[in-house]
Amino acid sequence: MKHSDSLGTPTRRTLLRSTLGAGALLAHPLAAFAAPPGFEQWRDGFRARALAKGVSDATYTRVMGRIEPDMSVFKQMAKQPEFHEQIWQYVNRRASDWRITAGKEALRRNEALFTRIEQDFGVERGTLLALWGVESAYGDPLVQQNHMRPIFPSLAALAWNEPRRRAYWETELINALKIVDRGWGTPEEMRGSWAGAMGHTQWMPEVWLNVGTDYDRDGKVSPFGKPDDALGSSARYLLNRGKYRRGERWGYEVRAPGAAASGNRTYAAWASAGVTRADGQPFPQPNASAQMWVPVAGGPAFLLGPNFYAVRSYNPSMNYALAICHLGDRILGGPPFIQPFPGSERVMTLAEVQEMQTRLTKAGFDTGGTDGRVGNDTMKAVKAYQTKMGLLPADGYGGLRVLARLRQGP
């Protein structure tokens, strides 16, 4: 997943990039990374700064008193997996058959919660379901167990010794300490990515502290456990920071013959210019405004409304926002894109993905499981298989072409 410029303004998703948002970076034993010289002096000196920002001395001692920095974060920063996905591959992996099916089940289990969120914030359920599915596989505890680490050793290492954005990491460490101070979370349960994003919808401490809301009314704000706080607060985030508009759709796949006009226009103006919905239906809100986007020449074209950019406030990638919006539509029964991307494949079924994973594993390429969910382990296995078999490009995308080759045998 692309992240924003590491020297630019931090976003909620800064420095996080993986299939599950932040959730695919394996934890390393902390004992293997002893505190380098200088950390203890920094830790003792940082106490005054934390106290000046309102952290209690007792909380600082409890959390930081004997902490060892998790130095593996620097390796993670330098070696994030790169697969150079085309947009159709990126969207297919996120709007996968597993995520669509699991999303329908997550909606069935939490229908009352999504109805309440729609009433309170106006954010429609498809968007939130897709965010939840992409960021944490709908709160799967195995993601938390296998791919998350204690955040304080990570943030302490970054705040101490990450030179380019030290002020950002110092602030996030203080935000995390304030969360403990408020009694919203303990150091033990505050587990997340190497960069500190936590819970169902992968909050950085700043978001937890400043946007989080006690939506289940249990006296604390938490992105863990029941999804109420995470989903309600994420809706609040989209509304307050993304300027989400109640009752408006994110946009539409369209047909735009000839050289369509550019800029921000009403749907009625786009229709007058010859732009139509790809499914042939009328635009239901002709006075709402949208912008044209054609990601790849010859592929699908889109009119994007303000709510697409509200989703993009969660992660600055256009591809991410399109994947979220499309996955949300698919969970609620919508079709695949009508105009395919050039050179694209259809999304594989759950059974096909499981077959691919099983065949890869039997061939000696460990996919980390055969559950039909494609994470970094499966992508690494696919890339290694492609490389060995001379399948170009060796991009790590496990699709129909890879499955067809696997079916041919060694």
* DSSP character string of 188-205: TT-EE-TT--BTTTTB-H
Q: Does 31 score more than 90 pLDDT?
A: no
- Residue 64 backbone class (left: φ over 0; alpha: ψ -120 to 50; beta: rest): alpha
Amino acid 274: pLDDT: 93
Q: Does 80 score more than 90 pLDDT?
A: no
Amino acid 366: pLDDT: 96
Q: Does 25 score more than 80 pLDDT?
A: no
303 neighbors 275 (Cβ within 8 angstroms):
yes
Q: Does 9 score more than 90 pLDDT?
A: no
Query: Distance (Å, rounded) from C-alpha 366 to C-alpha 277?
Result: 43
pLDDT in tens, 136-177: 999 998 888 878 999 999 999 999 999 899 999 999 999 999
pLDDT in tens, 300-349: 999 999 999 999 999 999 999 999 999 999 999 999 999 999 999 999 99
Query: Distance (Å, rounded) from C-alpha 73 to C-alpha 71?
Result: 5
Identify the sign of the CA torsion 173, 146, 74, 165. Answer: negative
pLDDT in tens, 271-291: 999 999 999 999 999 999 999
When computed from its CA atoms, the radius of gyration of the chain, rounded to whole angstroms, is: 22
Amino acid 50: pLDDT: 98
Share of the chain above pLDDT 70, in %: 90
The whole-number average pLDDT for the span 48-72 is 96
Instruction: With cut-offs at 50, 70 and 90, classify the pLDDT of residue 43.
Output: very high
Q: What is the DSSP string of 202-230?
A: TB-HHHHHHT---TT-SSS--SSSSSHHH
Mean pLDDT of all residues belonging to the chain: 90
Amino acid 7: pLDDT: 27
240 neighbors 220 (Cβ within 8 angstroms):
no
Cα Dmax for the chain: 68
pLDDT in tens, 109-127: 999 999 999 999 999 999 9
pLDDT in tens, 189-242: 999 999 999 999 999 999 999 999 999 999 999 999 999 999 999 999 999 999
Amino acid 144: pLDDT: 80
Tokens 């298989």, residue located: 385
Is the whole model's pTM more than 0.85, yes or no? yes
Query: Distance (Å, rounded) from C-alpha 334 to C-alpha 244?
Result: 21
The whole-number average pLDDT for the span 368-394 is 94
Residue 166: partners with Cβ closer than 8 Å, 6 or more residues away: 158, 159
Instruction: With cut-offs at 50, 70 and 90, classify the pLDDT of residue 259.
Output: low
Query: Distance (Å, rounded) from C-alpha 68 to C-alpha 39?
Result: 8
Q: Does 23 score more than 70 pLDDT?
A: no
pLDDT in tens, 82-96: 667 899 999 999 999
Amino acid 15: pLDDT: 38
- Residue 38 backbone class (left: φ over 0; alpha: ψ -120 to 50; beta: rest): left
The residue with greater pLDDT, 16 or 255, is: 255
Query: Distance (Å, rounded) from C-alpha 151 to C-alpha 125?
Result: 30
Burial, 410: exposed, middle or buried (Cβ in 10 Å; 0-12, 13-18, 19+)?
exposed
Residue 347: partners with Cβ closer than 8 Å, 6 or more residues away: 92, 95, 96, 97, 336
Instruction: With cut-offs at 50, 70 and 90, classify the pLDDT of residue 354.
Output: very high
